Amino acid sequence: MGSTPEYGRRDLIKRAAAIGLISVPAMSALSACASGGDGDGGKQVDKGKKSEKNPLAVNEKAALEVVIFDGGFGQQYAKDAEAEYRKAFPDAQVKHSATQEIQTQLQPRFNGGTPPDLIDNSGAKQMDMGTLVGKNQLTDLTALLDAPSYDDPARKVRDTLRPGVVEMGQFEGKETWILYYAYTVYGVWYSKTNLQKLDAQYPETWDEMLKVCEAAKKKGIAGWTYAGKYPYYVPFSLYPFIAKIGGVEVLKRIDNLEPNAWKDPAVKAAFEAYYELYKKGYILQGSPGLTHIDSQTAWNQGKALFLPNGSWVENEAKKTTPQDFRMAVGAPSSLDRNSDKMPFGTLWASGGEPFIVPKNARNPQGGMELLRVMLGKKSSQNFIKSVSSLTSLNGGTEGLTLPPGLASSQEALDKAGKNVVNPRLQDWYVALQKEKIGVAAIGEMMAGRLTPDEAITKIQRFADETAKDDSVKKYRHK
Amino acid sequence: MQHGKYRFIAGFLVLPLAIYGIFVISPFVQAIYYSFTDWTGLSPDFRVTGTENYRRLWNDDVFWTSVGHNVLLLLVLPLVTIGLGLFFAFMLNVGGRRRKNAAVAGVRGSGIYKVVYFFPQVLSIAIVALLFQFAYNPNSGALNSFLSAVGLDSVRPEWLGDPDLALWCVMAVMVWSNVGFYVVLFSAGMSSIPRDFYEAALLDGANRLQTFFRITLPLLWDTVQTGWVYMGIMALDSFAVVQIMTIGPGGPDYSTEVLSFYLYTKAFRDGQAGYATTLGVALLIVTLIFAGIVMKLGRRERLEY
């Protein structure tokens, strides 16, 4: 007893601390780095036998893992397509998962070199495409594009897609890294019923737009509302408006981050027109604080007539949309019918739901084959019917009774013909488009806290900063 | 008995130290290392760029804005939350009217109040933020509906939509959701203060204010200090509320941007994990400075009772 003085408390702590210090470097050497090793990739399954039914040479027995973004379009459409896949390859296991946290769940797997075979890299938490491409993490989908299409072996998949879809999936070289499955029409969304109540039609010129808004204001209805909490919804109708006024080159210069691209008179004219909506009190009070859902609900309730949005709104707002709402989309009104560079009808349409096949996927052929199935008419129509959005498959709507918003999207596309614009800021420079241009400039202008001139100056500064920032990868229109 | 002494000690320490090393120390060391690289977070391939990230940090306006907001949160939040917590706890335990047989007592119904105050603490912060998002809705939210109801139709702030108000709205939510915890914490502390002290003070003719400042606060000082550090950590974080509730999120016009959220967007939206870890190191430094200051200021002779 009492033989413990050599274990004096002070000594013990000192020594423990010393051991702790020594163990620090040892541990960091022992434990795996967060960035992972790169030796795990390349363990791909063997290719199967190429045949007419199996043009991509999918291994019939290899498991397939699919991760779907569980957002506005849900996941059922993918499950249905997987069922088709299983029919073709009864021995293959298909592992399906759906999440809204694409990036949080998949980023570690990319780092570890074990990503799934097909990913719908979409939603607010999508992984940055430019980085994935830049770091060579994706499989080139050219094989899929050149494969015979699912319904007609005489036509390549490439030739069955809507215009612009393949180009959107390309970055610098010839490789196509992304396949956008949904096809979104952006514009000014409205209710035919609510316009009718004011004895109005969708205004084809901005003067008429102001008149309709004035008439609405007299009845206590606002002209416009927007997702003030995410003001980057406003460009959905504002950017094609700019293109309509000044030609598509203005948008291209903006996308290319050219000096003074935003100082174009067309930008100023468009900004001033939108600012006038605020100045004349045509914007629903409180809009700057609304989420996209809030604004859609207010619009459904008839509190406001017009809403800049994309064609997913019909599905997303299903629950709050009255039966007789008769949803429709309008292209930007003409600011000046004579001097506008592009005709009325010009609108923004582009691919949505970007699907990717990772480079280190174990079964990349399987991933592409599932995409091929999805781009078949059957799966495509299933998607159109169940989530009321178009797919990248050109046509595919024959024989379907489309819901009003979707029918209107199709009409708008037909009317636009070649005059479809596709600004790329939102997929090339997310930070610039969303938090800088969107929240810090356009949002502030629509809330009346910046004048159009101030907003443009601010945006030009942001764009110049991005152009100079080496940590951001740059893209250009070809 | 000297034989095997070191092996004996080491035997006890190996496992906890290993766990500590792997899960605490090593990520720290790695993070500092990654802050000198251009790692994207999306592929294992990166190179060391030296102090490039730190140079960029120095010239990054958004970074300084968010540091400013963090410092403001750090000054205001603990002060208001702990002040309110102390006030409520004092009223619940000591502040009531004097009754028979008891020198001090809480206000009537203090038992119920305690539960009510603690309520927000039971809710997940995500739910709290979402609830307040509805309350702040400028169109149909509770706050503006209330303003309309009392005839203040002309004053309808946009709350989170207004850059001058947004950060204060965030602070209000954080105070609301945290104050209950401190009420309970301080109540527990106060109930361990012997009643005789109060009795003696009351016999000497002290009023409530005097008993609070002369007896309650000094004897509670340790608890207050702990609470201060804890609330400071909450202020440095404040990620959830900003992410769920605010415009953008982080706005409008960066008016609610905080370090933790900025770090998150850089790492997980922009694929710049290297720069994000640099921000993390900056946050670590701010935290260390804060802890140092609190420890220095808070050092006081401990009263034994």
Q: Cβ of A3 under 8 Å from any chain B Cβ?
A: yes
Chain A: give the shortest CA distance to residue B154, in Å.
11
- Across the interface, whether the CB atoms of A27 and B18 are under 8 A apart is answered yes
Interface test with B, best of A125, A126, A135, A469 (most B CBs within 10 A): A135
Per-residue pLDDT at A4: 42
- Across the interface, whether the CB atoms of B26 and A132 are under 8 A apart is answered no
Percent helix, strand and coil across chain B, each to the nearest 5 = 70, 5, 30
Report the chain A residue with the minimal C-alpha distance to residue B130: A291
Rg, chain B, Cα only: 24
Helix (H, G, I), strand (E, B) or coil at A478: coil
Percent of chain A's residues with pLDDT above 90: 43
Chain B: give the shortest CA distance to residue A38, in Å.
6
- Across the interface, whether the CB atoms of B253 and A443 are under 8 A apart is answered yes
- Across the interface, whether the CB atoms of B251 and A439 are under 8 A apart is answered yes
Rg, chain A, Cα only: 26
For chain B, domain boundaries: 1-30, 35-298
Q: Cβ of A35 under 8 Å from any chain B Cβ?
A: yes
Contacts of A110 in chain B (CB under 8 A): 42-43
Of the candidates B223, B211, B30, B178, the one whose C-alpha atom is nearest the C-alpha of residue B105 is: B211
Which parts of A67-222 fold into alpha helices (H)?
A: 76-88, 102-112, 129-134, 142-146, 165-168, 192-197, 206-218
Any idea which of A23-32, A198-207, B11-20 has the lowest mean pLDDT?
Answer: A23-32
The tokens for B127 are 């739910």
- Across the interface, whether the CB atoms of A286 and B163 are under 8 A apart is answered no
How open is the CA angle A157-A163-A165, to the nearest 5 degrees? 65
Chain mean position to CA A174: 22
Specify the pairing of strand A304-310 against strand A347-356: unpaired
Helix (H, G, I), strand (E, B) or coil at A381: helix
Interface test with A, best of B5, B20, B28, B43 (most A CBs within 10 A): B43
CATH of A185-349+421-468, one of 3.40.190.10, 3.40.449.10, 3.30.43.10, 3.40.50.300: 3.40.190.10
How many alpha carbons lie under 13 Å from residue A471 in its C-beta half-sphere? 26
Report the chain B residue with the minimal C-alpha distance to residue A233: B248
A425 vs A419, B114, B122, CA distance in Å?
19, 53, 43
Contacts of A104 in chain B (CB under 8 A): 268
> Is this complex's ipTM strictly greater than 0.90?
no
Choose the closest CB to B43 out of A111, A229, A443.
A111
pLDDT tens for residues A319-378?
899 989 999 999 999 998 888 899 999 999 988 889 999 999 999 999 999 999 999 988
Rounded-to-integer distance, Cα A460 and Cα A437, Å = 9
Q: Cβ of A23 under 8 Å from any chain B Cβ?
A: yes
Contacts of A314 by beta carbon, 8 Å cutoff, 6+ apart = A321, A327, A388, A389, A403, A404, A405, A406
Contacts of A245 by beta carbon, 8 Å cutoff, 6+ apart = A266, A269, A270, A335, A336, A340, A341
User: Could you list the pLDDT tens digit for every one of the 305 residues in chain B?
Assistant: 566 788 888 888 889 989 999 998 898 888 888 888 888 887 777 888 888 889 888 988 889 999 999 999 988 999 999 999 999 888 888 776 666 566 667 777 777 888 888 888 888 888 998 899 888 888 778 888 888 888 777 777 888 888 888 899 999 999 998 898 898 889 888 888 888 888 888 888 888 888 888 888 888 888 888 888 888 888 888 888 888 888 877 878 888 999 989 999 888 888 888 899 999 999 888 888 888 887 787 666 566 66
The tokens for A450 are 């910046």
Chain B: give the shortest CA distance to residue A88, in Å.
33
CATH fold group of domain B35-298:
MetI-like fold (1.10.3720)
Chain A: give the shortest CA distance to residue B288, in Å.
19
The angle, 0 to 180 degrees and rounded to 10, between the axes of the packed helices B61-93 and B221-237 is 150
- Across the interface, whether the CB atoms of B252 and A440 are under 8 A apart is answered yes
Per-residue pLDDT at A27: 40
Please say whether the beta carbons of A237 and A187 come within 8 A.
Answer: yes
Chain mean position to CA B182: 11
For chain A, domain boundaries: 64-182+351-413, 185-349+421-468
Choose the closest CB to B1 out of A3, A31, A285.
A3
Q: Cβ of A443 under 8 Å from any chain B Cβ?
A: yes
- Across the interface, whether the CB atoms of A285 and B139 are under 8 A apart is answered yes
Q: Exposed (0-12), middle (13-18) or buried (19+): which is A338, by Cβ within 10 Å?
A: exposed
Q: Going by CATH, does the domain composed of A64-182+351-413 fall within 3.40.50.300?
A: no
| pLDDT of A127 higher than 80 | yes
- Across the interface, whether the CB atoms of B253 and A439 are under 8 A apart is answered yes
Specify the pairing of strand A390-391 against strand A179-191: antiparallel
- Across the interface, whether the CB atoms of A111 and B162 are under 8 A apart is answered no
Choose the closest CB to B17 out of A7, A20, A434.
A20
Of the candidates A123, A64, A75, A130, the one whose C-alpha atom is nearest the C-alpha of residue A98 is: A75
Q: Cβ of A103 under 8 Å from any chain B Cβ?
A: yes
